[in-house]
């Protein structure tokens, strides 16, 4: 029997057992299954109260009814009925497209003979067959299952319920909210220093033991400040942490929040923290934190100064232990932060430019899926002093594109050497001061020989 049949029977069996056991809730359904049953167009159910929760009206209504379409979306099997039509215990309603198991005992016996390992990873099945399958443990399966708070559908439903009117909906334009499933980078994809790994390990342990920390009164934990030059991985690390911890990621750039709606800047700051608390547990990432210090030290508009003061108070009033919000600030200019900004954070995490060993490790990591002849990352690392992880990715991009112009997908060590030279030349142009009045240097086709110029894109590396 094909894997397709096993996939479909597992889905139908899970739905049937979930409907019959009211002790189970959405956190017991595998994410790929529950995504097709969320309300508001993502499934066929309405939105009653979530089991065990009085805080959100978003939920999956029982009974959940597998159809050909929901089964296709949940399992990836293109023709689910064809996959199981030969089984004696399956049936299809031709009018509605509903699929069902007509003889539950026979279906269970058939599945357990072929899919015991699937039981271990599916909380609904682990709950039902814990005593029948070796290694099946309901609590372990549930703890390993991605929580509903990490689902895009749950996040969108909560936001549409909380920011119902048009004015409040505008607030969502000031934040970028990502579900963990939408983040492409994990911590395993990053090369971190020992200090960075240690700080991340500490915060992971703090999240795991929030109740204990609250019990002993240790509440000032969970406010991190990432400091370092652009391109050293501050944003990528924060996002990867959200992915690995299955937490929604709420990102805001402070310069944007305090300038887009000048008259309501303080209110906007408060709203950002409200969004984070409503989505908790989550990570609130505040980029460009040096904007706070710049504003406090300047003659900026009074409304912006009020917003910054509101921001500092809001940081004081949010807590990982009480609110389930991990706050991470990031700055490329730690020298511009004043004491009022520094003391808001309990941990400072340094993101320096990578040393030679880290550069070698980064090159190994980012070239893993590639075919490279005579590849020597240690040699390249020696030639890239001062480059960040973001810079090295740009070098890789140039090497790949140059090879493609020669109709090659296999790269050579020489491709990287040439790409490094090109990058350094571009970087040199970026750092040159444009001679006053010599505007032709910025125009496509302008002669830059013998004159200073700046790259057309500003030349700044992006923090990845």
- Residues near 228 by beta carbon (within 8 Å), at least 6 away in sequence: 234, 332, 350, 351, 352, 353
pLDDT of residue 223: 94
pLDDT of residue 444: 36
Per-residue pLDDT of the chain (464 residues; tens, 9 = 90+): 569 999 999 999 999 999 999 999 999 999 999 989 987 534 444 333 433 343 444 578 899 999 999 999 999 999 999 999 999 999 999 888 999 999 999 999 999 999 889 999 999 999 999 999 999 999 999 999 998 888 888 888 888 877 766 666 666 777 889 999 899 999 999 999 999 999 999 999 999 898 899 899 887 889 999 999 999 999 999 999 999 999 999 998 776 665 555 456 677 778 888 889 888 899 999 998 877 666 555 555 676 677 778 888 999 999 999 899 999 999 998 888 878 888 889 899 999 999 999 999 999 999 999 989 999 999 999 999 999 999 999 999 999 999 999 999 999 999 999 999 999 887 666 655 544 444 443 333 333 333 333 333 333 334 44
**Residue position matching structure tokens 């271990």:** 120
Please state the domain extents for the chain: 3-146, 163-350, 356-442
What's the topology of domain 163-350? Answer: Rossmann fold (3.40.50)
| H or E element that contains 347 | strand 347-350
Q: Which of 196, 203, 241, 243 is nearest to 222 (CA)?
A: 203
Long-range contacts of 393-397 (CB under 8 A, 24+ apart): 393/366, 393/464, 394/423, 394/461, 395/419, 395/420, 395/423, 396/363, 396/366, 396/367
Is residue 286 within 8 A of residue 329, CB to CB? The reply is yes
Domains 163-350 and 356-442 share a fold: no
Q: How far is residue 122's CA from residue 285's CA, in Å, rounded to a whole number?
A: 32
pLDDT of residue 128: 95
Name the 3-class secondary structure at 49.
Answer: coil
pLDDT of residue 217: 86
Q: What pTM did the predictor assign?
A: 0.77
The CATH label, of 1.20.1260.10, 1.10.3720.10, 1.10.8.60, 3.90.1300.10, for the domain at 356-442 is 1.10.8.60
Token pair, residue 137, equals 């443990």
pLDDT of residue 101: 94
pLDDT of residue 270: 81
Token pair, residue 174, equals 């000031």
Separation of first and last alpha carbons in the chain: 45
Q: How far is residue 38's CA from residue 54's CA, in Å, rounded to a whole number?
A: 18
Rg, Å, the chain Cα set: 27
Q: How far is residue 155's CA from residue 162's CA, in Å, rounded to a whole number?
A: 11
pLDDT of residue 359: 95
- Burial of residue 405 (number of CB atoms within 10 Å: 0-12, 13-18, 19+): exposed
DSSP state letter for 67: B
Question: 92 - beta bridge partners?
Answer: 99
Q: Where are the beta strands (DSSP E) in 220-340?
A: 223-227, 249-253, 282-287, 325-331
Is residue 392 within 8 A of residue 272, CB to CB? The reply is no
Token pair, residue 3, equals 């894997």
pLDDT of residue 173: 73
pLDDT of residue 426: 78
**Residue position matching structure tokens 């805001």:** 252
DSSP state letter for 394: H
Q: Where are the beta strands (DSSP E) in 61-202?
A: 90-92, 99-101, 176-178
Helix axes 302-316, 265-279, angle to 10 degrees: 20
Token pair, residue 250, equals 């709420």
- Burial of residue 214 (number of CB atoms within 10 Å: 0-12, 13-18, 19+): middle
- Residues near 453 by beta carbon (within 8 Å), at least 6 away in sequence: 429, 432, 434, 438, 441, 442, 446
């Amino acid at each position: 029997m094909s894997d397709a049949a096993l996939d479909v029977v597992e889905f139908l069996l899970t739905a049937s057992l979930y409907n019959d056991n009211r002790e189970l809730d959405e956190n017991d359904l595998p994410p790929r299954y529950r995504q097709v049953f969320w309300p508001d167009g993502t499934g066929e159910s309405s939105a009653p109260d979530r089991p065990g929760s009085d805080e959100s009206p978003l939920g999956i209504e029982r009974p959940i009814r597998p159809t050909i379409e929901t089964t296709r979306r949940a399992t990836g099997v293109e023709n689910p009925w064809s996959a199981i039509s030969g089984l004696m215990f399956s049936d299809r309603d031709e009018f509605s497209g509903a699929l069902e198991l007509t003889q539950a005992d026979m279906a269970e016996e058939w599945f357990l003979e072929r899919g015991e390992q699937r039981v271990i990873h599916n909380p609904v099945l682990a709950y039902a067959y814990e005593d029948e399958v070796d290694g099946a443990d309901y609590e372990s399966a549930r703890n390993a299952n991605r929580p509903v708070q990490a689902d895009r559908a749950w996040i969108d439903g909560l936001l549409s319920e909380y920011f119902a009117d048009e004015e409040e909906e505008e607030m969502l334009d000031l934040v970028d909210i990502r579900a963990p499933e939408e983040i492409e980078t994990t911590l395993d994809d990053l090369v971190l220093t020992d200090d960075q790994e240690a700080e991340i390990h500490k915060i992971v342990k703090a999240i795991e033991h929030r109740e204990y920390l609250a019990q002993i009164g240790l509440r000032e934990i969970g406010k991190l400040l990432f400091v370092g030059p652009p391109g050293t991985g501050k944003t990528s690390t924060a996002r990867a942490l959200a992915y690995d911890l299955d937490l929604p990621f709420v990102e805001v750039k402070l310069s944007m929040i305090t300038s887009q709606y000048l008259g309501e800047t303080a209110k906007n700051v408060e709203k950002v923290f409200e969004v984070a608390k409503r989505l908790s547990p989550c990570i609130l990432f505040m980029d460009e934190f040096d904007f706070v210090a710049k504003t406090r030290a300047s003659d900026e508009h009074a409304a912006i100064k009020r917003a910054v003061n509101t921001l500092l108070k809001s940081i004081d009033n949010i807590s990982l232990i009480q609110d389930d919000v991990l706050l991470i600030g990031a700055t490329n200019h730690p020298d511009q932060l004043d004491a009022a900004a520094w003391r808001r954070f309990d941990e400072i995490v340094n993101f320096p430019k990578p040393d030679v060993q880290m550069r070698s490790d980064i090159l190994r990591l980012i070239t893993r899926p590639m075919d490279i002849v005579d590849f020597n990352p240690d040699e390249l690392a020696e030639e890239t002093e001062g480059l960040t992880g973001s810079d090295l990715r740009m070098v890789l991009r140039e090497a790949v594109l140059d090879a493609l112009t020669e109709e090659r997908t296999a790269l050579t060590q020489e491709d990287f050497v040439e790409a490094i030279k090109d990058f350094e030349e571009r970087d040199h142009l970026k750092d040159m001061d444009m001679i006053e009045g010599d505007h032709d240097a910025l125009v496509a086709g302008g002669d830059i020989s013998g004159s200073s110029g700046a790259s057309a894109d500003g030349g700044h590396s992006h923090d990845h």
